[in-house]
Structure 1
């Protein structure tokens, strides 16, 4: 059973390692005594509500005790990780780092690449993942169960898909935040009180996203429907579309995708 596996998170006191660990414990899928974390900062307060969680200062000691190793460090810190996973299942949360690079560094061909986003701490992350051919069905089931504790987990068929989704969903709140910033700046320039402007922008974006999710409609259909009303929103949408908003977004995603592939 997945719940009997000991999960070891290298970088467990960092943002993503902590989010995953807290989600696992909060969901009830794993008992605290079956979670290990290692951290450069040593024992902190990240898991203070679960004192049974063991924090180790030695990554190899964590790997030796764990059944599944989650690698949750910055890509630039990978070279400092010196462990031998002895063929154990390794789940990498690193961007810009291929399966081959992880396998070579960790000493295991049973590698899964996964890409979370910041909504993991709210358990609303989109968590795509890609597995090496050496990862069997039992491993896949365990990976899906583990990652789904943070939100929606989805296996993708190609490693390039994972790189692309690193640029798209891995951005988390970044793209909505950029849109929110533009809307908020305009509202302020129009003389709207700052508190009201912020409230209006956030409620519009959050409410709109929830409405799209609930309705289950294609976003393009929603845009066409709103344009067809021929009201104030239609005027704004037409101006943004004619101004090349879609092309600007595509250029940004292309640049992020290129970086995700190590280009």
Structure 2
């Protein structure tokens, strides 16, 4: 779907705002001449995208846009002063309720979305929630915008977005943590660091593609490996026994708590 609406991204020089803009332009979802990005500092650095309009004035951005994307840190939101009545407002801020977004911006139609760092390579899984006033056309636009960043899916409850702050918003970093742990253990056993890193990348970025194929149900894969009672079963069972599931749950809960604290602070 080609988006005909004019889109403005507040915080367009930040890593996420710029990733969304680049993905939208690269996939042809948005013509760059219909895209306006704002930079609080005015320092665009390497964020310039040919054909896109840049401004330091968020008021100008709103005037030029039908859709306003809020891509600022939650604690910076109090410093955003715009009048977006009649616009579709899309927030990618963690922990800021749709009600607060509507009250501060004056937007009637509000969407909350939770993309992640993989948007930079157009592989983000992005859940989004639309408040009741959002039209069917607005929902189609949001789906197309975040499909350009990878894959997107609507959720029925705003609470699901709050949960996804940890699972999808932060989750892009979890494979890197696993790879780091694999590398550290291999190096401790005397393997060359370059080899250990290459092997870990092969496991985390390569072998994990099993999940993308047919029969890629995670629970079935794990159970099949455990039932085989081989070396993989021994490794999986040891990780589970040492609290792997609990550690993941603690991480997700910590992300949600941090988001709430950032939004209230």
**TM-score range for the pair, normalised by the shorter chain length:** over 0.9
Equivalence for 1:85? 84
Distance 1:77 1:49, change over 3 A: closer
Aligned twin of 2:60: 61
Alpha-carbon distance change, 160 to 230 in structure 1, aligned in 2, over 3 angstroms: same
Q: Secondary structure at the match of 2:182?
A: helix
Shift, 1:68, TM fit: 0.5
2:167 aligns with 168
Aligned to 1:226: 225
5+ residue gaps, structure 1, are none
- The residue aligned with 1:235 is 234
2:24 is the alignment partner of 1:24: yes
1:173-196 CA-partner distances (Å, limit 9, x unpaired): 322122222111111110000000
2:252 & 2:48 partners in 1: Cα distance?
39
The answer as to 2:182 corresponding to 1:179 is no
Aligned pairs for 1:54-133 within 5 A? 54-133=53-132
Q: Deviations over 1:115-153 (max 9, x none)?
A: 110000111101110011111111111111111110111
Preserved CA contact (<8 Å) 1:18 1:46:
no
Tell me what 2:136 maps to. Answer: 137
Q: CA deviation at 1:217?
A: 2.5
Q: Which runs of 5+ in 2 are unaligned?
A: none
Shift of 1:78: 0.5
RMSD across aligned C-alpha pairs, in angstroms?
1.7
CA distance 1:15–1:216, change in 2 (3 Å): farther
Structure 1 residues 41, 258: closer, same or farther in 2, change over 3 A?
A: closer
Map of 1:34 onto structure 2: 34
| Cα shift at 1:96 | 1.0
The alpha carbon displacement at 1:251 in A equals 2.3
Residue 231 of structure 1 and its aligned partner are, at CA, apart by 2.1
Counterpart Cα distance in 1 of 2:21 and 2:46: 10
Contact 2:166 2:251 (8 Å CA) reproduced: no
TM-score by length of 2: 0.93
Q: How many residues align?
A: 262
Report runs of 4+ in structure 1 exceeding 4 Å deviation: none
Q: Does 1:198 align with 2:197?
A: yes
Q: Are the aligned partners of 2:85 and 2:108 in contact in 1 as well (CA < 8 Å)?
A: no
Structure with the bigger RCO (C-alpha within 8 Å, sep 6+) is: 2
Q: For 2:96, what is the secondary structure of its paired residue? A: coil
> Per-residue CA shift, 1:13-56, capped at 9, x if unaligned?
11011001101110112211101010023262445451x21101
Give 2:187's aligned residue.
Answer: 188
Matched-pair contact (CA < 8 Å) for 1:47–1:53 = no
Please say if residues 43 and 55 of structure 1, whose CA atoms lie closer than 8 Å, have aligned partners that are also in contact: no
- For residues 48-76 of structure 1, the C-alpha deviation after alignment (integer angstroms, 9 at most, x for no partner) is 451x2110110011101111101101111
**Secondary structure of 1:127's partner?**
strand
Name which of structure 1's ranges 249-258 and 108-117 shifts more when overlaid on structure 2.
Answer: 249-258
CA distance in 2, matches of 1:167, 1:108: 26
Residue aligning to 2:5: 5
Partner of 2:250: 251
- SS of the aligned residue for 1:217 comes to coil
